[in-house]
Amino acid sequence: MATRTENPWIRRTLIGIALLYLGLFIFLPLVVVFYTGLSKGLAVYFQSFSDPAALSAIRLTVLTALIAVPLNLVFGIAASWAIAKFDFWGKNLLTTLIDLPLSVSPVISGLIFILLFGAQGAFGPWLMDHGIKVIFAPPAIILATIFVTFPMVARELIPVMKAQGNEEEEAALTLGASGFQTFWRITLPNIKWGLLYGVILCNARAMGEFGAVSVVSGHIRGQTNTLPLHIEILYNEYNFTAAFAAASLLALLALVTLFLKSIVEYRYRAELKAAVRTENV
Amino acid sequence: MRKVLFIILAGFIWGVSVSDIYAAKKITLLNVSYDPTRELYEEYNKIFIKHWQKKTGEAVEIYQSHGGSGKQARGVIDGLDADIVTLALAYDIDSIAERSGLIAANWQQRLPQKSAPYTSTIVLLVRKGNPKNIKDWDDLAKPGILVVTPNPKTSGGARWNYLAAWGYALYKWNNDQAKAQEFLKAIYKNVAVLDSGARGSTTTFVERGIGDVLISWENEAYLAVKELGLDKLEIIIPSVTILAEPPVAAVDRNVSRHGTIQVVDEYLRYLYSEEGQEIAAKNYYRPRSETVAKRYQDQFKPVKLFTIDEIFGGWQKAQKTHFADKGTFDQIYQ
Amino acid sequence: MSIDVKQISKTFGTFKALDNIELKIATGELIALLGPSGSGKTTLLRIIAGLEKADHGEIYFHGKDVRTEETKDRNVGFVFQHYALFRHMTVFENIAFGLKVKPKAIRPSPEKIKAKVHELLKLVQLEWVADRYPSELSGGQRQRIALARALAIEPRVLLLDEPFGSLDAKVRKELRQWLRRFHDDLHITTLFVTHDQEEALEVADRVVVMNKGKIEQAGTPEEVYHNPASVFVLNFLGNVNLFHGRVEETKATKMYVRPHELTVSRNPISANSIKAKISFINPAGSVVKIDAQTSDGQLIQAEIAQEEYKSLKLKRNEEICLTPKNITYSEYDI
């Protein structure tokens, strides 16, 4: 029982450091955000959201999440299923590619799109000729967001699917179920918590992304600003109260995300425990 | 499952259609500008919309984008669909013309005063009471002084700052280029933070309280004092400084594609009108119009100015010598 | 429904799992695929089910080539070693699954499904667990539910992969007999995979002994036990003592005697009697197991009836004589 023989002061120090860290880097900033946002009173706080530029930013942020999250959900499920249940040429490559957006700086992610779809880029002239606006317009923002968030779902699902193995799916096949029926009735219900977890993370990142979106946005006020970009603009206009008021929205999103995550984790662990009991009987 | 797909599809269509509604009903213009002009164009756009409505009965919607001048130019080249560019220096508009052909090469001659409807200059902003006793450019090179200025690679204002200091050095040391480079090196050694745009530097100095002196656009300095308190900041006018002429231009190819030639033309010309010049002066830009200038003569102190053409032979040369790869900036700032 | 396996081969990477397997199974037979790990028995079962594809060869169900048929169309009932019950569904839903996923045209009504599920639960004597979840059942119960689920689709062949492998000895024995009785009632062609020779001999109509991807022998339990076609089969089915026999110029002989085919006496009975010293007696069980060692160190295992043991009054370290009643000879070249 090595844990009991260590000096209790070491334990207290480590916990103390952890709490200090949390306090300084998470708790304190959150408090400052809400305090500054509300410093001129509730009326001003709510007024900052009725500004048309703010509304447009909120709308664009929500739209981006509404598109990026479901798409990444579908892609994540497909990729995880392929990786966890099959062996195929290029499997390792796919696994590495999925991790790519996490290791690449968000700014680079944005630049990639400019290189591809910008006026001087690979597809730029073709897009211009056909009057299709990608870069410096909402489509680029959505694309950049999809890119930086697509690992979120896949990375949650791959270990879950791997741990569950193929047997239930094979059983379904022998009972006459088609591929789709097997997926819908057997695979999905089994991965539902991992899926939910992945979606929550994906959404949080999609709504909060700054770097990649900033590069491809064009910063056109009222058109191509998401909430994080809008906050930067307000700050740059010396409008600190409004900036922090908008920031408090994102802070609220973070808190809600953490809350949902905890619930999912709790239910997930309970199910996992039950499943482990199943295997050992 | 089908319900979820339907909701997503509906949301998408709604989002797209709502952003298109404005395009269908009104004329829209995009003005891609540099960092400190937010307040200027917010006001100017309001009066221009009224003016155009009165003149033609048409409604026009104007969108703004702001950022470091070089960065914005880069954006337009990459496809940022600007009708108008109002940038910090002629060089940035030249580079748009050269690299993308979106603007005609002779753009600068199309409007009066080399397409610069207002001017500004470079001044020094210090803390109230001037505790570090900063009187002129020399003081910035003194050890222990923290200087705030943006990055010349991305910010137009930063390049004006740099050249203003260089010009002063040439005056002081009798055109000795080597001495000037040493002087700039000493100043940049004192730089605390290199923001990407002029507004960023202002925020760093004023809001975050970093640094002893901010090298800044004159209009930025006045704006900062107005917004954040006469009791906190002070403006120091150096003995000699550079005349900054931030130009404006129509982005010809975009404008003809959008069919907005007439309104853009008027937008640019109206900047030179008395109403336009009034807005500029109100926002601390030195107006070209003598009548308006007289009204604001208390606001704008007389300054000894040199131009970029006199001292540096124009922007092309200055860019090549100082800000291109391996130019003097790269040499002094590692 | 009869199954005809023709020249089936399967390789995984460099490992040859099945090598040219030929097997004919008559309608209604209960066949055991018996062999050690890696013998290919599970692979063969999965290929018949369609869960794996063979590299070469054909499989015929009642004369029809099923190679092009997907698993879901082959109408096979498969029972997995670890049951593979759908953990998120109740027992009722598990059994009903096969009926619920049938195409709309031939899907039975909910009432019919309910009736069928209860009929099957009755068959496996587990009507009372219908609303429970698999995690709430014991291993033996789960196995029976897995069987019921497989039977729900009225399969033409039943395939079981080590169905009793994860259960304890008593439950295993019970289920074994139950499977046998079950098969007698329903007469579905059944194949089950096992590595337990006792199980195979007790339950099956025919035993197919496999080793290293090949079929060593296929025959009735009596045939494979009493007339083993190879040394491997002999060794695998039951314990056996090995003696080295005559050595001639080019040939040597090995002799195999089963433990229960040795007569134990205090004095030699014939010229073949072997003298040995008792090293260990295990009197617990239906027969008494005696380990003895000859003077040159060979270990011999003998089995005698309890009455005989009592009448001989054998004790450890006593000298006895062992006489073989039945010898299997195997000659090989040296």
Complex ipTM value: 0.78
Measure the CA–CA gap between C117 and C95, rounded to whole angstroms: 6
Give A125's DSSP letter.
Answer: H
Quick check: helix, strand or coil at residue B316?
Answer: helix
Task: Give the tokens for residue B302.
Answer: 């007389």
End-to-end Cα, chain A, rounded Å? 28
- H-assigned helices in chain C: 41-49, 91-100, 110-123, 139-151, 169-186, 197-203, 221-226, 231-236, 306-312
pLDDT at B10 over 80: no
Model pLDDT for residues C173-212, shown as the tens digit of each residue: 888 888 888 888 888 899 999 988 888 888 889 999 999 9
Question: CB-based contact (8 Å) between A274 and chain C?
Answer: yes
CB B150, CB B282: distance < 8 Å: no
The order of strands in the sheet holding C30-34 is C76-79, C157-161, C189-194, C30-34, C206-211, C214-219
Choose, out of B3, B62, B80, the residue to mutate when testing the contact with A (most A CBs < 10 Å): B80
**pLDDT for residue A221:** 83
Distance in Å, alpha carbon of C41 to nearest chain A alpha carbon: 18
Residue C240: exposed, middle, or buried by beta-carbon count in 10 A (0-12, 13-18, 19+)?
Answer: middle
CB atoms inside a 10 Å sphere around CB A136: 29
Residues 20-79 (A) with a CB less than 8 A from some CB of C: none
Give B-chain residues touching A119 at CB under 8 angstroms.
77-79, 100
Measure the CA–CA gap between C123 and C133, rounded to whole angstroms: 19
- How would residue B23 be classed by pLDDT, with cut points 50, 70 and 90? very low
| Residue whose tokens read 């959150």 | A30
Highest-pLDDT range among A189-193, A268-272, B161-165:
B161-165
pLDDT at B25 over 70: no
Tally of CA atoms within 13 A in the half-sphere of C60 that contains its CB: 13
- From the list C51, C73, C134, which residue is nearest A170 (CB)? C51
Pairing of strands C157-161, C189-194: parallel
- From the list A59, A137, A238, which residue is nearest B228 (CB)? A238
Put simply, the answer to whether A120 touches B100 (Cβ < 8 Å) is: yes
What number is the average pLDDT over the span B26-54? 91
Q: Which of A28-32, B147-151, B213-217 has the lowest mean pLDDT?
A: A28-32
Model pLDDT for residues A155-181, shown as the tens digit of each residue: 888 888 888 888 899 999 999 898 889
Strand partners, C263: C323
Measure the CA–CA gap between C266 and A215, rounded to whole angstroms: 98
**pLDDT for residue C333:** 67
Strand partners, C77: C158
CB pairs under 8 A between A and C: 75
Model confidence, pTM: 0.73
DSSP symbols for B77-141: HTT---SEEE-S-HHHHHHHHHHH--S-TTGGGGSHHHH-SEEEEEEEEEETT-TT---STHHHH
End-to-end Cα, chain C, rounded Å? 47
Model pLDDT for residues A58-112, shown as the tens digit of each residue: 899 999 999 999 999 998 898 888 888 777 788 888 888 888 888 888 889 889 8
- From the list A176, A278, A279, which residue is nearest C101 (CB)? A176
pLDDT of chain C along its 334 residues, tens only? Answer: 888 999 999 998 888 889 889 999 999 999 999 998 888 899 999 999 988 888 989 999 888 888 888 888 888 999 998 889 998 899 999 999 999 998 888 888 999 999 999 999 988 889 898 888 998 898 889 988 999 999 999 888 999 999 888 788 888 888 888 888 888 888 889 999 998 888 888 888 999 999 998 999 999 888 888 788 887 888 888 777 877 776 777 777 778 888 888 888 888 888 888 888 888 888 888 888 888 888 887 888 888 888 888 888 888 888 889 888 888 777 766 6
- Could you tell me which chain A residue has the CA closest to the CA of B42? A221
Measure the CA–CA gap between B180 and B166, rounded to whole angstroms: 6
Put simply, the answer to whether B64 touches A220 (Cβ < 8 Å) is: yes
Task: Tell me, yes or no, whether chains B and C touch by having 3 or more C-beta pairs under 8 A.
Answer: no
Model pLDDT for residues B106-137, shown as the tens digit of each residue: 999 999 999 999 999 999 999 988 899 999 99
Task: Give the tokens for residue A200.
Answer: 């929550």
Give A-chain residues touching C134 at CB under 8 angstroms.
278
Mean pLDDT for all residues in chain A: 85
Quick check: helix, strand or coil at residue B184?
Answer: helix
Percent of chain B scored above 70 by pLDDT? 93
Measure the CA–CA gap between C40 and C29, rounded to whole angstroms: 20
Give C-chain residues touching A277 at CB under 8 angstroms.
135
Neighbours of chain C (3+ CB pairs under 8 A): A
- How would residue A4 be classed by pLDDT, with cut points 50, 70 and 90? low
Measure the CA–CA gap between A200 and A206, rounded to whole angstroms: 10
- How would residue B22 be classed by pLDDT, with cut points 50, 70 and 90? very low
DSSP symbols for B240-272: SEEEE---EEE-HHHHHHHT-HHHHHHHHHHTT
CB C210, CB C230: distance < 8 Å: no
Choose, out of A181, A238, A241, the residue to mutate when testing the contact with B (most B CBs < 10 Å): A238
Question: CB-based contact (8 Å) between A185 and chain B?
Answer: no
Residues 108-167 (A) with a CB less than 8 A from some CB of B: 114, 117-121, 124, 128, 133, 135-138
Put simply, the answer to whether C135 touches A277 (Cβ < 8 Å) is: yes
Strand partners, C292: C278, C300
Q: Which amino acid is at C175?
A: L
Task: Give counts: helices (H), strands (E), chain B.
Answer: 17, 12
Give Dmax over CA atoms of chain C in angstroms. 78
Give A220's DSSP letter.
Answer: B
Residue A68: exposed, middle, or buried by beta-carbon count in 10 A (0-12, 13-18, 19+)?
Answer: buried
Q: Which amino acid is at A122?
A: A
pLDDT at B250 over 90: yes
Least Cα distance to B185 among B141, B138, B238 occurs for B141
DSSP symbols for A44-104: HHHHHHHSHHHHHHHHHHHHHHHHHHHHHHHHHHHHHHHHHH---TTHHHHHHHHHHHHHS
Contact partners, residue C301, CB within 8 Å, separation at least 6: C239, C241, C259, C289, C290, C291, C292
Least Cα distance to B223 among B194, B203, B247 occurs for B203
Helix (H) or strand (E) holding C30: strand C30-34
**pLDDT for residue B215:** 92
**pLDDT for residue B212:** 92
pLDDT at B21 over 50: no
**pLDDT for residue B203:** 83
Give C163's DSSP letter.
Answer: T
Give Dmax over CA atoms of chain A in angstroms. 73
Question: CB-based contact (8 Å) between A183 and chain C?
Answer: no
**pLDDT for residue B226:** 84
**pLDDT for residue A2:** 53
Task: Give the tokens for residue C104.
Answer: 């709309």
Task: Give the tokens for residue B319.
Answer: 């860019």
- How would residue A281 be classed by pLDDT, with cut points 50, 70 and 90? very low
Give B-chain residues touching A117 at CB under 8 angstroms.
79
